[in-house]
Structure 1
Amino acid sequence: MQLLSPQHWKAYRLIDSGNFEKLEKFGDFTLSRPEPQAVWDKSLPQNEWEKMASAFFRKEKNNPEKGQWELKKGMPERWFMDYKHTQLNLTFKLALSSFKHVGIFPEQATNWDFIYEKTKQFAQPQPRVLNLFAYTGGASLAAKSAGADVVHVDSVKQVVSWSRENMEASKLDNIRWVVEDALKYVKREVKRGSIYQGLILDPPAYGRGPDGEKWVLEENINELLKLCSQLLDKKNYFFIINLYSLGFSALIVDNLINGIFGKVANPEWGELYLEDQFHKKLPLGVFYRFSSH
């Protein structure tokens, strides 16, 4: 079991965490927003947070999942930031959403590096990569940058439009966009006999498809992984899954992968985290990945 944290961010930094909040720098702007796993104390005093942050997320009393951003003067509601490592050069549009998200999960940079490197190593030109629950497309952009033929699937049309903006900002093109329920799409791809060299899954704990399809991680993940095992190339492949559900152990994913895929080559699994400048490690989900090379 591994603990992985991105090493190559220049535009992002986790400054401090604690008291169920995190203080983060995204490009030119610093944000304060809720973080349910930061159960420890902050290292900096509150007045330092107030001084450093350009925007604060204030939760609604009746719905802790939603809220509003309080902006200081000069803080835009949308801006751009870059991620650069070796030949990987991505640009993301960030925006302040009512669900506290900003359009990027910085801990995923370690997976973008993995996707880029594994895609580059395929002998065949334009290996096919399927990104499910693809959100704003960081993983799609990494695969496309390495020369893959990418299919990007998400159930929310506005999020897919956001991904397209990220593609254009990153000077990439020709990603195939699919607005659909991921499980429904995968079932259809299995019937078609489709094969992919790369599979990327980033399922939420709960979700809804565009036609009201219900997704519950614990109920649906076993079926989805069984279907994915039929889509993955048997000789040349990489596979990666991230899970953010609180309390969903990496051991559960290990059992699922071993039971469905059997003995896989080059397995890596464990937790993703970000470390603040006071060396507190903030856990941000579990991952499992493997590849033929």
Structure 2
Amino acid sequence: MKSIALLTPEHWSTYQLIDSGNFEKLERFGDHILARPEPQAAWDKSLSETDWENLAGATFRREKGSQEKGEWIVRKGTPERWFMDYRSPQMRLSFKIALSSFKHVGIFPEQAANWEYIFTHTQKMPVQTPRVLNLFAYTGGASLAAKAAGADVAHVDSVKQVVSWARENMEASKLDNIRWVVEDALKFVKREVKRGSVYQGIILDPPAYGRGPDGEKWVLEEHINELLKLCSQLLDKQNHFFILNLYSLGFSTLIVENLINCSFGQVKNPEAGELYLEDKHKKRLPLGTYYRFHS
């Protein structure tokens, strides 16, 4: 790895990070503006508190003692769910936005930079129908990008409601035939290795902590090394791309690079760094570490 790169999406017209600071972010999703917590935004806001109150159609307030759970304070005129589009020269996707009790809304806008990468390298592959595996796949942005590029996609997540949400996004994007798997990611990958399965693309987006549908415990620092070793057995040696996203504050790019090198050896065309979004006031908000490579 020669350098650490900063990566941000280029094609959002329906999303905007308006302001960030005081551990919050103010964002526009389609026609609606939301304010919610952001632990990385340690600096001052550029707009006043009054500006934020006037702009935000809904504001997330944490429950006392909780980092994630809370409730939305919704102003009149702001729906609890709506659809927004992502349009680029390569693809057209649609996503349902919904105000969940865990501050999430169904999309991570910074990941659009990876959607473009997935689409490009799926289409470039000299394989008639590349197989792509999306683990911890959430509401499916990466799955949609791979499918739009012509891949045979397996979408794996342990939460049934989230997989149903991803299916809605597929249908809204006028795509079909994604394979939906409600299962613990590690358990699924172990079974695929035993079957001798091969994938041309693998995407991992693991949380710091999680539970499988049968109560399986996922702890990032305890399980990521094993999972990467298994993924190295599934990835096509000749034609491939691989993406790892990590949101845990304790995982630096150097840690991720060491994990990749131990599991995959010397890879071609590696890129590593931080994903970020820039607000209207030129403040850059870091939103996770990524590592990706392709054949």
Equivalents in 2 of 1:129, 1:2: separation in Å?
Answer: 25
Instruction: Tell me how far 1:87 sits from its aligned partner.
Output: 2.7
Q: CA offsets, 1:163-213, max 9 Å, x none? A: 000000000000000000000000000000000000000000000000000
Q: How does 1:103-142 map to 2 (within 5 A)?
A: 103-142=106-145
The aligned counterpart of 1:91 is 94
Match of 2:9 among 6, 10, 17: 6
* Corresponding residue for residue 43 of structure 1: 46
| Structure-2 residue corresponding to 1:208 | 211
Equivalent in the alignment of 2:225? 222
Contact 2:90–2:116 (CA under 8 A) maintained in structure 1: no
Alignment partner of 1:241 out of 239, 244, 248? 244
- Structure 1 counterpart of 2:85: 82
- 1:144 aligns to what? 147
Do residues 154 (structure 1) and 154 (structure 2) align? no
Indicate the residue corresponding to 1:196 in structure 2.
199
Secondary structure of 2:104's counterpart equals coil
Structure 2: 5+ residue stretches without partners? none
Task: After TM superposition, give the deviation of residue 149 of structure 1 in Å.
Answer: 0.1
Task: Choose from 254, 259, 262 the match for 1:259.
Answer: 262
**Aligned mates of 2:65, 2:38 — CA distance in 1:** 18
Match among 60, 78, 88 for residue 57 of structure 1: 60
TM-score w.r.t. length of structure 2: 0.98
Secondary structure at the counterpart of residue 93 of structure 2:
strand
Offset of 1:248 from its aligned partner? 1.1
CA–CA distance in 2 between the matches of 1:262 and 1:236? Answer: 16
Q: CA deviation at 1:247?
A: 2.2
Q: Partners in 1 of 2:269 and 2:64 — Cα distance? A: 46
Matched position secondary structure for 2:171: helix
Deviation at 1:280, TM superposition (A): 0.6
The answer to whether structure 1 residue 281 and structure 2 residue 277 are counterparts is: no
Choose from 73, 76, 79 the match for 2:76.
73
User: Match for 1:133: what amino acid?
Assistant: F
Q: Secondary structure at the match of 1:144?
A: helix
TM-score, structure 1 normalization? 0.99
What is the CA–CA distance in structure 1 between the aligned matches of 2:177 and 2:31, rounded to whole Å? 30
The residue that corresponds to 1:177 in the other structure is: 180
Offset at residue 258 of structure 1 (A): 1.1
Unaligned runs of 5+ in 1: none
The share of aligned pairs that are identical, in percent, is 75
Does the Cα contact within 8 Å between 2:123 and 2:149 map onto a contact in 1? yes
The RMSD of aligned alpha carbons is: 0.6
After TM superposition, give the deviation of residue 63 of structure 1 in Å: 2.3
Stretches of 4+ aligned residues off by more than 6 angstroms: none
Task: Report what 2:171 is aligned to.
Answer: 168
May I ask how many residue pairs the two structures share in their alignment?
292
Rounded Cα–Cα distance in structure 1 between residues aligned with 2:68 and 2:98: 17
**One-letter amino acid of the counterpart of residue 207, structure 1:** G
Structure-1 separation of matches of 2:66 and 2:283? 29
